[in-house]
Each structure stands twice: as structure tokens, then as C-alpha cells.
Structure 1
Amino acid sequence: MKAQAQQLRRFVWYRPSEPKESSLAWILILPCLLMIFGLAVYPIIYSFWLSLHHASLLSQVRTFNGFENYTEVLKSAEFWASMARTMYYVFVSLAVQIVIGISVAVVLNQDFKGRRFVRSVMLLPWAIPNIVNAVMWEWIYNASYGALNGLLMQLGITNEKISWLGSKFLALNMIVAADTWKMVPFYAILLLAGMQTIPKDLYESARIDGSDSWKSFFHITIPMLKPVLLVIMVLRTMQCFGVFDIIYILTKGGPANGTMTISYYVYFETFGNLNFGKGSAISFIVAIIILLISLVYIKLLRTEEA
């Protein structure tokens, strides 16, 4: 019996015809790894290689120039001007959209009739494709037949048509407004989900201690929403740095480069001036800046549990 048990044990543990579990796992995930490498890792490596070369579509010869593209970008006044516009766009968008998003989330967190319907309808702006949203706001802002001018004139607020995209400062803020209309549902849904995870006992205890609604909001709701706010701010900062489609449709970087944010500047250098090396260098500089800003967010919104 003992010999038979040893043979049975040897038969169970030794199966040369079947691959090991780890080998099978690698075989199963290999297609995904190849896809990730082909769509993400390889383009990043190739872009970094381009950033170290003088690479232009006008010339087939690509000469290695080290970090010359990086130093040229950092010395460029156009780069810093576009970066300043981008930082303004980021922080104004975040400030306005977070305030509106929290306000909408607070309303949707209340118990009222038709709440589910209102939540569903609120998601419609966010579901609209970016290009469709940009074209819609192009019609709204049109100085000749735009709906915004028509509404203001009907209400008697103004007697003349306003060129909403005709000046630098106004055009950039109008783009922020158009982006806010689309992105507020994104803020509201995430913040609403965060609010619903806050224990009701905290509000009841605060009410017993004499705290009113405003104090409970600032001392319970906001601190408990820090993890959600961190996710929102990091994601939206990356999106704002990469905003392109709405600027391309509405202003194409104008007037007088007044809305040329960093993403449009990268597009202009890469496909306008056909300087792929410089465009790649700008992209990596922007990636480092986004990383530093994200670290600042993490430092400011770090919770005690983290």
C-alpha cells in the first residue's frame, strides 16, 4: 500500500504533458502584454528617441543632438507663454468646475421626487462627443447668428452683438465655459458617489453637538471627499493639459495665439513646423510638469489614513 501511495503521489505531481500553471498564465497574458507594448510602451520609447534627434518630415536624415531640443524648448518664449495659458486654463477650470460639481452633487444627494430621472438627464452633456460639443458651442458663440447673443439681446442685457471669440482673454474663458458645461456631470457623479459613502452617524453626531449644515459640510463632507477630489484633480489636470479638439474647432489657437495652450503648441510644432524632435521634447517636458503638479495635489489632499 505504501508503494502504491508513492506511485500515485508521483503520478499526480508529475504530469509532463501539461504545462505548469505559471507558464499557462504567461501564455494567456502574452497577447495583452504585446498589445500594451505596441500601443503604449513602444510609442513612448520611440518618442523619447525622437526627442534626442533632429527629426523633421522635410528631411530623411535624423541626426542625434542630445538634449538640444529640450534646451531649445525651455528657452522658447512661445513655450512659456503657452504654458502660462495652460496653467490658467487648468486652475480656472478646476476651481469653477469643482464648485459647481459639489453644488450639483449636494442637490442630487437629497431625497426628492424624480431624483433618478434628474441624475440620468444630467449625464447627457458628458455623453456628448467632444467634437460635437465643440461644434455646438461654435454655433452658440457665433457673433452673427449665435444663440448666446440672441438670448442676451432678447433679455435686453445688450443691444449689440458680442464677438465672444474675438479677444484673447475672452476667448480663453469662453472655452473654459464650454468645457465646464460638458465636464460638470463628471464631477457631480464622482462627488455624489463619495458623498453616499460618508456615514450618516457623523452628521447625526454633529447635529447633536450643535453643528449646523454649513459647519457639517466644511468639517465632515469636504474632508471625507478628499480622496475623490484627488482623483478628480489629477485626471482633470491631465485632460486640461491635453485639451485640443475644442480649441481646434473654436479658435485654432487664436486670436493672436491667445488660446494656444500647450497641447495645441505641441501640435503646431510637430505637424505645423514638421519638427517631430522638438514636439516630442515638449511632450516629455509637459509629462514631467503634470507629474510634479500631481505630487502637489497628493501632498495637499493627503488624508490621515494615507
Structure 2
Amino acid sequence: MTNTWLTTRAWLLMLPLLIVMVAVIGWPLADTVRLSFTDARLVGTSGHFVGIDNYARMLASSNFRSTLTTTALFAVISVAAEMVLGVAAALLLNQNFHGRAIVRALMILPWALPTVVNATLWRLIYNPEYGALNAALTQLGLIDGYRSWLGEPATALAAIIVADCWKNFPLVALIALAALQAVPREMNAAALVDGAGPLARFRFVILPYLAGPLMVALVLRTIEAFKVFDIIWVMTRGGPANSTRTLSILVYQEAFSFQRAGSGASLALIVTLLITVLAVAYGVMIRKAAGSAA
């Protein structure tokens, strides 16, 4: 068979999948782009062409800038904490101790929980009247009285970050634990004989094997954190005083709460563009890391 026939056959085999992808992704995306250049309402009018007015208004909006800051803050802190906790947990689970298999199995439970269940669980823990956190801190004498952790702008975002980290750091831990299996025990033993301390062994022996897998985990978690919606919507709905409102929640409010389909579509495309830029940047970093390793 010629290469041309093989290429044609490959495209024919992929054709059903391509048709489905165009129908499921391509058409809605094209319609969203069309809507973003109109003043369409969700109900009542198809809208008129307004050019880039929606984009200009969104980018100049103080709501957009403050929400972008909140989203970036959430993504940076939560992902950084998850990476540190995940690597620490992986290093502990890589040691030999009784019951290690059970602990490894239990580690995946928080990540396996549906996000809505996790958010509801933590909302009950933070409850200002009967929450377990208030009870524990009061009995330990760390606070004088019960607090509304999700009802105060100063603590709401931090409380959500804790809930998000608890759910997602096991994913990083499992990825790092799998990478640790590739570290040659002879290298670690040789470094120990040469007098290298724990930090030196981690930096020069273990970290090179973790760098690639951790970069993949970093990409996945950063993109997920940047477009977070469900856990925040269940716990605070973006409040109090919009202190936990992220870009995805702003898109929802603009399109469905305020019924401005045109500006909601433009905001959604701006968020998509930001996530694409992040993904491309991380892709370049991964290729550079792979090239350096080679």
C-alpha cells in the first residue's frame, strides 16, 4: 500500500470522530464567537452586531479586573500548596512501614469524591452554628467564639482553598509516588554513603525524576484551578461581597443571572484565551524540560 492510501484510510477511519467533534465542539464554539459580537439577550432578542464593544467593556470593567485577581490568587495558592503537600505525601508513602498499602488506598479517597460532595462536606465543617472546625478551635482555646468562616470576606477564599487542596493534593501525590518508583535505589544509597543529607538527596537524586511528572500535574491543576466553578459555587456562590467570585462564576452571572448572552459569550472567550495561553506556556516549559533531560 502506498503512503497516500494509508493516509487517506486513516482520515476515513477518523471521519466519524471528527464529525462528532465538529458537532459537539465546533458549532457551539462558532455560535459563541458570533454571540460575542452582538448585544443578544438570553431571552427576548437575538441581538445586533456591536463589534468589539463587549470585549472592550469587559476588559475595562473593574469587576473583571478584581475577579481576575481573585482567580489568579486562588490558582497560585491552591496549586502551590497542592504541589508541596503532594510531594511530601508521596515521599512519606514511599517509605517502608506497616499498613502502607492501606494508607496508599485511603489517599485516593478525597480525590475520588465528587466536587459537589466535597464542597458540601466542607461547608458543614465551616458552619458558623454547629461546624466541626469552630467546635475544635473553641475547645482548644484558639478562638473565643464561633466564626462564620465562609461569611467573612477575609477568610472565605482561604477556607475554599483549604477545601480545594484537601481534595486535589492526592492527585499530585499519586503522580509523584509513581515517579518515585523510577528512582534507582543504588543512587540514593550511594548519595547516603557519600554523606548527602535529606535535602541534598532530594534535590540532586530525587527531584530530576520528579520534574517531568510534576510539570504535567502542575499543568493539569493550574488549568483546573483557573477555571474553577463548582466548589466555589456550592460553598459561597462567589460571596460574600464577591470576595470569592472567579472568572467562571462571573461568566455564569453575566450570561444567565443578568441574561446578557452577548457579553457573557465575550467573557467566556476571554477566559478560554487566558487558559489557552497558560496551556501553551506550560507546553513550552515541558518541552524545554524534556530537552534538557535528554
> For the pair shown, which has the larger CA radius of gyration, 1 or 2?
1
In 2: Cα distance, 1:169 partner to 1:157 partner: 18
**Among candidates 131, 155, 167, match of residue 152 of structure 2:** 167
Does residue 305 of the first structure (1) align with residue 290 of the second (2)?
Answer: no
Does residue 77 of the first structure (1) align with residue 57 of the second (2)?
Answer: no
Does residue 110 of the first structure (1) align with residue 95 of the second (2)?
Answer: yes
The Cα shift of 1:227 comes to 1.3
TM, length-normalised to structure 1: 0.87
Identify the residue that residue 255 of structure 1 maps to in structure 2: 240
What are the equivalent positions in structure 2 for 1:51-70 lying under 5 Å apart? 51-70=36-55
Q: Secondary structure at the match of 2:293?
A: coil
**Distance change in 2, residues 1:224/1:25 (3 Å):** closer
Identify the residue that residue 8 of structure 1 maps to in structure 2: none
Identify the residue that residue 197 of structure 2 maps to in structure 1: 212
8 Å CA contact 2:75–2:226 kept in 1: the answer is yes
Identify the residue that residue 145 of structure 1 maps to in structure 2: 130
In 2: Cα distance, 1:25 partner to 1:209 partner: 55
Identify the residue that residue 177 of structure 1 maps to in structure 2: 162
Identify the residue that residue 223 of structure 2 maps to in structure 1: 238
8 Å CA contact 1:149–1:161 kept in 2: the answer is yes
**Distance change in 2, residues 1:21/1:293 (3 Å):** closer
Does residue 291 of the first structure (1) align with residue 276 of the second (2)?
Answer: yes
**Distance change in 2, residues 1:54/1:231 (3 Å):** same
In 1: Cα distance, 2:184 partner to 2:283 partner: 24
- Which letter does structure 2 place at the counterpart of 1:222? L
In 1: Cα distance, 2:70 partner to 2:218 partner: 18
What are the equivalent positions in structure 2 for 1:176-195 lying under 5 Å apart? 176-195=161-180
Identify the residue that residue 83 of structure 2 maps to in structure 1: 98
Q: Secondary structure at the match of 1:110?
A: coil
8 Å CA contact 2:223–2:278 kept in 1: the answer is no
Identify the residue that residue 261 of structure 2 maps to in structure 1: 276
**Distance change in 2, residues 1:230/1:54 (3 Å):** same
**Among candidates 172, 177, 183, match of residue 198 of structure 1:** 183
Structure 1 stretch displaced more, 107-116 or 254-263: 107-116
Identify the residue that residue 86 of structure 1 maps to in structure 2: 71
In 1: Cα distance, 2:266 partner to 2:274 partner: 13
In 1: Cα distance, 2:272 partner to 2:8 partner: 36
**Among candidates 191, 201, 206, match of residue 221 of structure 1:** 206
Deviations 1:33-76 (A, max 9, x none): 22222222222222222212222124323222222211111101
Identify the residue that residue 6 of structure 1 maps to in structure 2: none
The Cα shift of 1:291 comes to 3.0
In 1: Cα distance, 2:74 partner to 2:186 partner: 39
TM, length-normalised to structure 2: 0.90
The Cα shift of 1:201 comes to 3.5
8 Å CA contact 1:56–1:277 kept in 2: the answer is yes
The Cα shift of 1:189 comes to 0.4
What are the equivalent positions in structure 2 for 1:22-33 lying under 5 Å apart? 25-33=10-18
In 1: Cα distance, 2:45 partner to 2:22 partner: 26
In 1: Cα distance, 2:208 partner to 2:29 partner: 37
In 1: Cα distance, 2:126 partner to 2:192 partner: 47
The Cα shift of 1:202 comes to 2.9
- Which letter does structure 2 place at the counterpart of 1:305? A
In 2: Cα distance, 1:200 partner to 1:288 partner: 44
Counting matched residue pairs gives 288
Identify the residue that residue 116 of structure 2 maps to in structure 1: 131
Indicate the RMSD between aligned Cα atoms, in angstroms: 2.1
Give the unaligned 5+ runs of structure 1.
1-12, 14-19
In 2: Cα distance, 1:169 partner to 1:296 partner: 32
Give the unaligned 5+ runs of structure 2.
none
- Which letter does structure 2 place at the counterpart of 1:100? L
8 Å CA contact 1:94–1:233 kept in 2: the answer is yes
The Cα shift of 1:282 comes to 1.4
In 2: Cα distance, 1:268 partner to 1:205 partner: 58
